[in-house]
Amino acid sequence: MLRDRVALITGAATGIGEAIARLFASQGAQVHILDRDADGCKRVAESICADGGAAFAAGGDVRSSDDVNAWVRGAIERSGRIDILVNNAGIYPRQAFLSMAEEQWDVMQDTNLKSMFRTLQAVLPQMVAQRSGKVVNLSSVTFHLGMNPMSHYVTSKGGVIGLTRSLAREMGEHNIHINCITPGAIKTEAEAKVVTDEQAKAMMAAQSLRRRLLPLDVARVCLFLSSELSDGMTGQSLNVDGGWVMY
């Protein structure tokens, strides 16, 4: 489905990003992955290559323009083009608003939202020159729920949806598709650090589908949005939440 396509994926050392990278590679894409966990990123790329795929790892922080620009330049130099960008990197610590430090707010916005400004500014000129491209931004179903105590996180993810919609209109004339996924409660290594078993069970109980969602569930929708199957779509947000929120 993605034969000979070149895909860039952020936050791909574990979880959803790793699942996306593995699925894309299995579908024929060359994947360039970035994560601040350089060793983890390298392990994922080596594993993909061992399975017969094409993957290239880079250690770097999406909060650094230098890191992002170097990664994108390297991908273009190696592969000659960029067909797909998946903005997946993000953090989601909990913090009550009235006890939140300004620095905590700023780090959240920088990591989850401004990072996409950096990657998009680096990648879109290449896509404009090609007159083609697919961008998938990862937001969160919490934007529709307004969950507590996560005001800084929910705000950042709402910004992702706004960015997706606005850029979809701006980039449409260049044949660039920009869409968004809003995952629900996904069973990942990172989730286990901030969500208790009881909280996970409560979120699953709120779903229409009574099973834990996995990174692959999100990766499959990302594959759809990155392939020709979604050529008639842009500016859209798709819930992958087991039927928790419906709109």
Q: Which domains does the chain have, with CATH numbers?
A: 6-240 (3.40.50.720)
Give the burial string for 210-236 (b: 16+ CB within 10 Å, else e): eebbebebbbebbbbbbbeebeeebbe
For every residue of the chain, which 3-state class applies, written as one string? CCCCCEEEEECCCCHHHHHHHHHHHHCCCEEEEEECCHHHHHHHHHHHHHCCCEEEEEECCCCCHHHHHHHHHHHHHHHCCCCEEEECCCCCCCCCHHHCCHHHHHHHHHHHHHHHHHHHHHHHHHHHHHCCEEEEEECCCHHHHCCCCCHHHHHHHHHHHHHHHHHHHHHHHHCEEEEEEEECCECCHHHHHHCCHHHHHHHHHHCCCCCCECHHHHHHHHHHHHCHHHCCCCCCEEEECCCCCCC
Which one from 86, 153, 186, 238 is the annotated catalytic residue?
Answer: 153
For residues 49-78, give the mean pLDDT: 98
Instruction: Say yes or no to pLDDT of 51 above 90.
Output: yes
For residues 215-232, give the mean pLDDT: 98
Share of the chain above pLDDT 70, in %: 100
Going by pLDDT thresholds of 50, 70 and 90, the confidence category of residue 195 is confident
Q: Is 92 a catalytic residue?
A: no
Instruction: Say yes or no to pLDDT of 192 above 90.
Output: no
pTM of the full structure: 0.97
Give the burial string for 9-26 (b: 16+ CB within 10 Å, else e): bbbbbbbbbbbbbbbbbe
